[in-house]
Amino acid sequence: MKLLSVKAVPRVSWSSEHPLNFKPRILTLSILCGGLIIFGIGEALLIAAGAGVSPWTVLAQGIGLATGLSIGWATFSVGIAVLLTWIPLKQIPGIGTIANAVIIAAAIELFLPYLPVPESYGLKIVESAIGILMVGFGSGLYLVAHLGPGPRDGLMTGLQRVTEFPIAWVRMSIELTVVALGWLLGGTVGLGTLMFALGIGPAVSVALYTVKNVSKT
């Protein structure tokens, strides 16, 4: 299936030639920021839904329980560890790497107070699903800008380049591994957590495929 067989982040007419491009075109920068805002809204929907934390938060919880670190310091430690994997994977950061942290956090802070908090579990699942799709679509948009990925997306694209497996399966494998490690260490896994682990890889792949083909027209 072509939608799930994407093996690299495509380059289109508005993609940057290099991640370390400090004077990108306005269109490229606008799409980067737009994608990250959509990503952040998706993350906010997942938080508001309350059906389960993200796989990486489960891992941070587990590490905190095993080491005595606070959830904040555990999350920070995981982030540093992920960035260190970029060295052997030869990943190159860019302004998108910095924008990833700043814009997503700002979008969550801005939109979270206005999002519905469902009471029924069915609606929680629906809101989680919408959040996953938005994170996937936002990822596809900002990654195609080629201005540098965020830490986890960089791990995904780096492993894809090394293994040559489709992005959907690489991302799913990463998220499931993270969930398993976090759960083994004592982290809490919800249905929303498993939905994210299984769904974010295909969502990103579909987004990359769609952005590539729409940009051709």
pLDDT of residue 217: 60
| Dist. CA 4–CA 106, nearest whole Å | 31
* Terminal C-alpha separation, the chain: 21
pLDDT in tens, 64-99: 999 999 988 999 999 999 999 999 999 999 999 999
145: closest CA among 26, 6, 30, 15? 15
Do residues 74 and 186 make contact, with C-beta atoms less than 8 angstroms apart?
Answer: no
Nearest 5°: the CA angle 35, 37, 95 is: 65
pLDDT of residue 162: 95
| Dist. CA 56–CA 34, nearest whole Å | 24
Q: HSE (CB half, 13 Å, CA atoms) of 165? A: 13
pLDDT of residue 100: 94
pLDDT of residue 72: 87
pLDDT of residue 2: 85
Listed by start position, the domains of the chain span 24-216
Low-confidence ranges of the chain (pLDDT < 50): none
